Amino acid sequence: MACLGTETNSFSPIPTGMQEFADTMLCHGNGAANGRHPIAEPLRVWRRLAEERQMRVSESLSAFAEPGGMTAGATYEALRDEILADLRSALPVEIVLLSLHGAMIAEGYPDAEGDLLARVRELAGPKATIGVEYDLHVHLTEAKTRPANVVVTYKEYPHTDIGERAHEVFALAERAASATIVPTTAVRRCGINAYLPTTAGAMRDFVTEMRRAERTEGVLSVSLAHGFPHGDVADLAARLVVITDNDPAKAQTLANSLAAKLWETREALRPNYLSIDAALDEAIRSEGPVVLADTSDNAGCGAANDSTFILRRMLERGLTSVVSANYWDPVAVRFCFAAGVGGTLRLRLGGKAGPDSGEPVDLSVRVMAVQRDATQTFNGFQVPIGDTVWVQGEGIDLILNTHRFQTGHPDMMTQLGLDPATRHIIVVKSTQHFYAGFAPIARKVLYVAGPGTSNPDTRALSYQHVEMPFWPRDQDAFATI
C-alpha cells in the first residue's frame, strides 16, 4: 500500500518540488503511523484491517504536497520510482491498495497517477487486485481506471468520509482477490465542470441518490468524480463511476442514468458567488456571525493564501468586529514573534506571491498571541499550520501563519485565545472545507469570488489544454461522451 498526491492548479504561481512534499507529508514506509494528512487515513484503515486478517503488509511511500502549481518532473519520478521499487521488493503480492489524489500534473506527465498505475499493474501482474481510493476532485481518465479492479472516490465535500471509503475499497479488493466478486466498472462523463459542495441542496440529494443506488442488487459501488476545475487538462469534467459484480451492462446503464440525473439538476448546482462588495453589504445587514468564504484565495486549490483584496476593501469601508484568516506570510509572522505579545509594529502583510495576491497592506497592529507549531482540525484530523500569530489593527483581527494551508476550523483561532463567534464577520480563505467547522457558529455563510488564483468561475479561466465542452460554459456538454 502507498499514498501519493497533490492537486495541481495550472494557474498557480507556486511550483511544486520535493520540499513542498516534505513540508506537508513525506513518509517512507511509515505513513500509516506518522502521516499527518487526511490522505494517509486509508493506510491506517488498511493496515488495521489487513493485520486483523493476519495478512503480510508491505507499506511504501506516503507523500502529499499542499496544492500548488506544476509538479517538477524529477520530483514526481523520484516519488513514483520509490513506490515501484518497494512494490518490486515485495513481490509477489495479491492486493495493491493506493490512496491517490488524482489531480497531479507533472512536467512531462499530464496524467501522473495514470502513469503510476500503468507501471504498478505491469509490476504486480494481471492476477493481482488493485484498489484505488481517489479524492473526488480526481481527473478520472481511462488511464486511472483501466489498470485498477476497484476505483472509489470520496462522496463528501468537505471530505468527511475518507475512512468510510477506505473500508469500502478494502472490502471490495478483498472479495475480488478471493474471487467472490468480479468487479466491472463503467464510467460516464457528465460534462459539468464546477465546485460541487455536498452539504446541502441538490448535491446533498445526489449523494443520497448514489447511496440508494448502491443498495441495488449486484451494484458494488457508486462514485462521482467531480474533477478539479483549476487543472488545465484535455478532458475536464465530472464523471459517474459504477462498479457491479460481473455485470458491465448494468454498470453502464446505471452510470448513464445517474449522469443524466445530475445533468438535469445542473441549474440547481450553479453556485451563488458574490462580489466582494455585495458580500460585505449582505454581511453588514445580516445578523452575525456571518462567514465569508474567500474562494479565490484557497491554498487547498493551489492559491497562495495571501491575497489582500477583501482585507483592503474592509479597511477602506471602515469595518470592525471582523476576523480574517489565514494569511500565509512567514516574514510577517517572524516580525510578530520578534515584537512579542503586546508589542505594536507597522506590518506589511500579504500580497507577496504575485499579482493575483493583490498589493501588500501596511497596517499598524498589536500582537495579541503567538504559537509555535500550531495545528488545526481539518476534516476530522489535526494538521500542522506552522508558527501562527493573532494580530489586531483598525478593528480587524488577523491570523497569520507560516505553513500554507487553507482555513479549516475555528480552533485555528481559539487556540490563540480568539473566539470567532464574538465577531460579526468571519472571513475564511477556503472554498468548502471550512464548512464543517464554521457552519455551526454561523448565522449565514456567503461565498465570495473576487480576484485570485482559485476563482471558482470556470467560465473565466484561460484554459490552454481543455478540448471537451463543459457546463456552465457550454450548454451541450452532456451530449459529448
Please state the domain extents for the chain: 2-269, 274-455
CA distance from start to end of the chain:
33
SS3 of the chain: helix, strand, coil, percent, to 5: 35, 25, 40
Nine cell digits for residue 129: 487486485
User: Are 356 and 307 contacting, i.e. CB atoms less than 8 angstroms apart?
Assistant: yes
Other CB atoms within 10 Å distance of the CB of residue 424 = 17
**DSSP letters along 144-187, please?**
HHTT-SEEEE---SS---HHHHHHHHHHHHHHHHTTS--EEEEE
d(CA 79, CA 19): 12
* 108 φψ region: left (φ > 0), alpha (ψ -120 to 50), beta (else): left
d(CA 170, CA 168): 5
Q: What is the DSSP letter of 358?
A: -
d(CA 257, CA 261): 6
Question: Helix, strand, or coil here: 245?
Answer: strand
Residue 19 neighbours by CB under 8 Å, 6+ apart:
none
Length in residues, the chain: 481
Residue 281 neighbours by CB under 8 Å, 6+ apart:
none
Residue 26 neighbours by CB under 8 Å, 6+ apart:
18, 61, 62, 63
Nine cell digits for residue 158: 468537505
Is the pTM higher than 0.85?
yes
Looking at residue 480, its pLDDT comes to 54
Q: How much is the CA Rg of the chain, to the nearest whole Å?
A: 22
Map grid coordinates 472545507 to a residue.
433
Q: What is the pLDDT along the chain (481 residues), one digit of tens a residue?
A: 999 999 999 999 999 999 999 999 999 999 999 998 999 999 999 999 999 999 999 999 999 999 999 999 999 999 999 999 999 999 999 999 999 999 999 999 999 999 999 999 999 999 999 999 999 999 999 999 999 999 999 999 999 999 999 999 999 999 999 999 999 999 999 999 999 999 999 999 999 999 999 999 999 999 999 999 999 999 999 999 999 999 999 999 999 999 999 999 999 998 789 999 999 999 999 999 999 999 999 999 999 999 999 999 999 999 999 999 999 999 999 999 999 999 999 999 999 999 999 999 999 999 999 999 999 999 888 999 999 999 999 999 999 999 999 999 999 999 999 999 999 999 999 999 999 999 999 999 999 999 999 999 999 899 999 999 999 999 888 875 4
Cα–Cα nearest to 65, from 327, 300, 258 = 300
Phi, psi torsion values for 130, nearest 5 degrees: -110, 120
Cα–Cα nearest to 461, from 118, 132, 228, 229 = 229
429 burial (CB, 10 Å; 0-12 / 13-18 / 19+) is: buried
d(CA 388, CA 122): 46
Residue 422 neighbours by CB under 8 Å, 6+ apart:
none
Looking at residue 380, its pLDDT comes to 84
Looking at residue 272, its pLDDT comes to 87
Cα–Cα nearest to 424, from 326, 324, 327, 349 = 324
Nine cell digits for residue 413: 483561532
Cα–Cα nearest to 202, from 112, 262, 141, 113 = 262
Looking at residue 381, its pLDDT comes to 87
d(CA 27, CA 408): 23
Question: Helix, strand, or coil here: 81?
Answer: helix
